[in-house]
Structure 1
Amino acid sequence: MNENEAGERQIDIMVCGAGYVGLATAVAIKQARPSLDVVLADAAPDGVWKKDGRASAIAAAACAMLQRLGVWDELEEGAQPITEMIVTDSRASDPIRPVYLTFSGEVEPGQPFAHMLMNRDLNGALRRRCDELGIEIHQGTPIAGLDRSGACAVATAKDNRRFSARLVIAADGARSRLRDWAGIRTVSWQYGQSGIVCTVAHERPHNGRAEEHFLPAGPFATLPLPGNRSSIVWTERTADAERLVNSDPFLFETELETRFGRHLGAITVESKPRAWPLGLTLARAFVTHRLALAGDAAHGIHPIAGQGLNMGFKDVAALAEVIVEADRLGLDFGQEDVLEDYQRWRRFDTVRMGATTDILNRLFSNDIAPIRLIRDIGLGIVDRMPGLKRDFIAQAAGKGGPMPRLLRGEAI
């Protein structure tokens, strides 16, 4: 253990926040540059993440990265390919929901554009890979302060341990303390909506089909899980969402069935439904001296396009590549001018995706007849244009625009 005269542990990189983005960032850097001393801090106590019953859609490009990071073989067995997606636009009370848009779920023959994966499985696999690579994980001890005024960033843990790092990566979520301490401001607003998340079982198989129903209060998505099970991401006005998740289970299931329909038979709620407020948050800067933001600390978008986690994985691939290449060239990867390459790589794509989801949510989360007519005509036109549909699938698969090597399944 290297300590300086001030009693500070000297390391190369500290990753604050050990969710999927923080874990994957640490693995990507350490795997490419084993000589770098990488420490993960502010991790949840052991066992807490195992209780996460949520699932996430992992785009094809992110799957390629997880394969390169050495965890996909473990995860693939429990993952559910999304083989088809349909989009409808109706009211919950409508007896028939016309399908306006359909997507084949393959980017290439035999390669689905996304897989559904349980969050606890993804977290567990990445943590085990950290252990294999010798990455130190500090659990249950949050960072209480950060000083970037010297030659290195000095992070102080709540138990008074001090770390002197060439670079600190803030992957500590939408309410990032490190972002606030660095004085990085955000552009943000709330939608007055909350996303209800739960898992349901149903009688008939889904055959790998995902569905997104645009309802007046917001999108209602059903995403296939292994077996006769689906993950629900249900957008409602915040007051209604709170009422629903706190209501009698029978009432909740009745309201859910009204939106889910009976095409897969009777449904049963398997996990306790929870609701999260929805909004848009974009950091005005992704980097500053000795600090880089990644994942929700840099951006938070509406789940209407299912790209939140995949945007975080794009951050992972781009940031790891910038750091590793700089280190190979003997550059100081904690300097702002070096980190600027990461910001240029990710900021435009992030703003574009944030604006896109914002417009889509405002366009579809209403029941104004003329707007409904226009958007349904638009969906129908897209459905009849194979080239445009292929572009949409490529974007959903995370394969649009300049791609870091990891997202192409290549080593850094």
Structure 2
Amino acid sequence: MKHAFPQPIHHQWLGLLSISAILVGMLLSDATMSIGMIALIGNAVLNWDVGALFRRFLRNKALLGLTGIFLIYLISGLWSENTVFFLRRLRLTLPFFILPFGILSIPRFDRSVYFSLLYGFFWIMAIMCLYSLSLYVRDYEQITELYKRGQVMPTPVMHIRFSLMVAYCVAIGWYLFTERFYWRFPWERYLLLGSSAFLVVYLHVLAVRSGLLALYGVLLFFLLHAMVKYKKYRIGLVAVIGLALGVWLAFRYVPTLKNKIGYTRYSINLFLKRENLEELSDSYRLGSILAGLELGRQHPLTGVGIGDIREECDVYFQQHLPALVGQGLMPHNQYLFILAATGFPGLLYFIWATFYPLFYRRSYRNLLIAAFYIIAISSFMVEHTLETQLGLAFYLVFVLMGIRFQDEMAENGKT
């Protein structure tokens, strides 16, 4: 009897092709990203051993926890009146329901597989950053001037999510360098290190605050980790001071960064005066956070429901910030978004489900996984990261890859 996929090697390559499609799609095509997700779950379902995969899934608390995030969104539909918007949000969060199971369809996820995927993603990102920077250099004066009005240089995808991916690639570059990984030639490691330094510079020229916050968190973490690991406290202290000095110099002399800081001060000042709110992106962010706090206070047990969160924010704006009504805003903080939509029970579950993979098989001891969580948490504090297809894919795919890698290491007795 012929099976759908009789050889495990087929599942291996189909699974890796699916992951690769998602990673490439995050930068080039939403359709490619969606196709990769569908192919990954298909690789699991159209598997002769799907029953064994499902039993393995049920034993994995980290994967089950992430799947449960979809369920808290689903349950909030019971008290959501706007069914159309609820279904739209639910469709967006569907990857939480399918990808944790789908990732198990890849039979082998060892060091060579995991590192190769990271390595490929790093170089795609480096090329994209180089292209973005070339566009800036080509129209230097005009784009620099745009930063005074809160705009940024051209990027392949939404600049906030892109900056987070750049920050993560800095972490990937350093991690793979320290792990002595390369595809073919040993000198690739130094090219990797040099390209990581380029990405640090690029992030400062790009001047997106979310990306810079994530970058500084990761760099500080790496420095403190090295200080403790090698007990070089004096050298580490000098390095921390050097990092602070470098940040100060960048803020003072990088023109795009200077203009972005000026715009931020200007917009916050106008927000405090309640002037020109509809024209300032920072007003949207600050106003939506105030709305999220108020909705959480008014509906602590159930929230307002995922389907009604946008309309309820408008009700708050109508009373307190009329200029922001009709902008389609939701709380620009992932934790406040969950609180406002699902209440404190939903928030507590969300915090557990998103933090548990960090402690699963002591993943916090892995430098890259810990760095990714610094990036994710810093993003959650200032953005509703998971409420866009790109943000959700970025978070979920790399968390799932980390879980599978830790499982593989444990099965091989290497953790």
Is TM more than 0.5 here?
no
**The structure with more helix, counted as a fraction of residues:** 2
Classify the TM-score, shorter chain: under 0.3
**The structure with more strand, counted as a fraction of residues:** 1
TM, length-normalised to structure 1: 0.22
TM, length-normalised to structure 2: 0.22
